[in-house]
Amino acid sequence: MFTDIVGYTLLGQKNESLSLSLLEEQRRLVREILNRHNGREVKTIGDGFLIEFPSALDAVRCAYDIQGKTREHNVPLPEEKRVHLRIGIHLGDVVESEGDISGDAVNVASRIGPFAENGGISLSRQVYDQVQNKFELPLVTLGAKTLKNVATPVELYKVTLP
């Protein structure tokens, strides 16, 4: 699973102290939730996280809770202090070395997030196949998408959030 703060680079150029404050708040929130879903923080990459899970369902449930908690956190805040995340989730084999993971599955996961709406979650077909009919939220196809540095198009879905 990859997370990314929408518009973070631009915010950092406009107001660095605010961007750093929002980043720390987002990291605290994500870390609190990922631990409840058996997630392992592999690393932070700029304003995002690379997180691995023992199951696709754990990852989707964690992403749902992260987005819900982020929306709840944003309610009393003015728009310029709100954080909006995009989350992308993929399933596949990885190579682990010295606590880090790599491989095609990591590359694909990193490319899926931008297809999510602001505050949304996007999934690959591999994740969809594992989680369909296992929770109440509808999954909507986005079709096959060409991802940067990925040889074949990847069929994507979005989680329809309430």
- Tell me what pLDDT residue 162 has: 81
CATH of the domain at 30: 3.30.70.1230
d(CA 161, CA 138): 8
| Cα–Cα–Cα angle for 42, 65, 48, rounded to 5 degrees | 35
Report, as an integer, the average pLDDT of 61-89.
94
Structure confidence by residue, pLDDT tens digits, 14-45: 899 989 999 999 999 999 999 999 999 999 99
d(CA 2, CA 27): 13
Helices (H), ranges, 37-103? 56-74
Pairing relationship of beta strands 48-52 and 40-45 according to DSSP bridges: antiparallel
Identity at 46, one-letter amino acid code: G
d(CA 143, CA 140): 9
Domain containing 124: what range?
2-159
Residue 89 reports pLDDT greater than 90: yes
Structure confidence by residue, pLDDT tens digits, 62-75: 999 999 999 999 99
Q: Please give the tally of structural domains in the chain.
A: 1
This prediction has a pTM of 0.93
Identity at 39, one-letter amino acid code: G
Q: Backbone phi, then psi, for 55, in 5-degree steps? A: -145, 155
Structure confidence by residue, pLDDT tens digits, 129-144: 999 989 888 899 999 9
